[in-house]
Structures are given as C-alpha cells and as structure tokens.
Structure 1
Amino acid sequence: MYRRMFGPVTDADIECIYRQSAVYGTALQVEDDMWPKTREEFDRYWDEMIATFEVDRKVRSFTRDLLTGGDAPLPVRALVPLQRFMTIGPLPQRMRDEVALPWSPRDQRRFDLFWKVVPPIYRAVPRPIRQLSATYYLNDMRRRMKAHGHVI
C-alpha cells in the first residue's frame, strides 16, 4: 500500500519495516521465537497460510461486523465504506472467498482506478489531515489510559 501511495521503497527500508512489524505480532501474542527471522521465511509462511486457512461461521460473522464500523464515532463511520473497500481490495481472491467478502469485476476496476487517481491527491494533503483518524484514536487511547488505567 505504501508503494502504491508513495512510490518505491529501498530494501533497507523494507527490512526496517519488517523488523518493526514484529511488534504487532508480539502484541497479538506471537512469541518472539515464532516470528519468522527473515522476510523470505515470512513470505513462505504467509503463502502457506493463505493457501490453507479456513474460516468458520463465527469468524466470518465477526469479520463482516468489523467491516461495518460498529459503534465508531460518526466521522469515522462515514469513512467505513472506503475503509472496507480498501481492506477487501488487496486481499487474495481465496481469502475473499473464504471470508465471504463480495468483490466483483466492477469493484476491481474501481480499485484499480482508485490507485491511479488518489495517490497524487493524497500526497498533496497535509500530513496532519492525513493522520486525523490515527491521531483521534491515539488521543482516545491516552485519555482512557489516564482515566481508567486501561484501554478497553
């Protein structure tokens, strides 16, 4: 996604991003020794998981609920259709099928057009505006931590 929006990334930057991404894995209860040591190992792992994963009715329902915005604030919910579109678009077709996420040839044409039109516009938007939703949720998390000592 970053490449599509901003252009090429150096191998050194990709390696740095990969190492930093381990933080997300460990935050999701992946032990350090479970995280693939190299990007190549991760790519093999990812390809195998995409080829073999199965989704049950409960996970399918949860995913669909997640992609509807739930009880997010109104300004955030207004962006949910775009977020859903941008979440489903890059997924491999097998994953879309397994999770029962609709995607048509028309959706694919719109997705391709989006990536031709939007990046130059997005790059022109000042960074604080581009990061508005992230800033909102970061501030909300800090507020919750200060008030209650926990996020949820």
Structure 2
Amino acid sequence: MGEMPKHSVSVAGIVVDSDDRVLVIRRRDNGRWEMPGGVLELGEAFEDGVRREVAEETGMTVEVERLTGVYKNLSRGIVALVFRCSPGGDLVAQTDEAREVRWMNRDEVTRSMSPAFAVRVHDAFDTQPHTRAHDGVQLVATT
C-alpha cells in the first residue's frame, strides 16, 4: 500500500460589520484580495487559529461566531475551515502579510476575488455551512 496523501489545514475568518461589509486583505505575496487566514498550527484549536490569523493579517481582534464552510483546494491539497466572525477592535492599514486591509460589500467581493474565495464570503451569510471544492481559482463540481 502506497503512502497516503497529506493535506494542509487552514482557517479563515469572514469578519462582518454592522453594515454587512466584510474585512478583506490584499496579500503581499500574490496581490490577491482574500479574507484573512492561514495554516492552522499543530495543537491549535480552530477558533484560536482564526483569531490569530485575523490579528496577524489585520491587527484586529475578533469574536468567532460559527463555522460557515469547508473548502478543499484539489490542486494543492489544502482543506480550509472558514468561520464567520464579528469585529472586536480597530484594524490597521497594512501588516507584514497584507499590503492593504479594507472593508468590502458583497458586490465588491464578487468583482475583486476569484470565485473560489468570493463564494466563501457569500456562504458566510447563509445559515447552514457549505462544503465545496475548487482548483485554486474556480469551483469544481463534485458528486
């Protein structure tokens, strides 16, 4: 029997303000707009990872509310757990990981993010969590 494939687990926070805008970052490494998030550390609880990643990338503390979706990047073997959060403090204009941090409405998210990431924001406004697969950019139909 061959070696089993390994997956990386990441977490992300969809931070929603009182005007239903979401907190987004423009990543320093690739210039893409995404929600704050990153790799979950060994021994770290999911919610702790979300709080850490949002703080590292935006300077903001958040309250984690609920899981809104699980997303698998089929081409890179990454499983992302996405949580809806409420803001708990001020954000900063840029960080070591984000060259820009700002609030966007859902239409701006659709125009600015790849479909594989924009859908995570839209899913966070539903009442039930979603499971989806993608190739890094586009959603992939699963059976």
TM-score class, shorter-chain normalisation, is under 0.3
TM-score by length of 1: 0.23
| Bigger helix share | 1
| Bigger strand share | 2
**Highest Rg: 1 or 2?**
1
TM-score by length of 2: 0.24
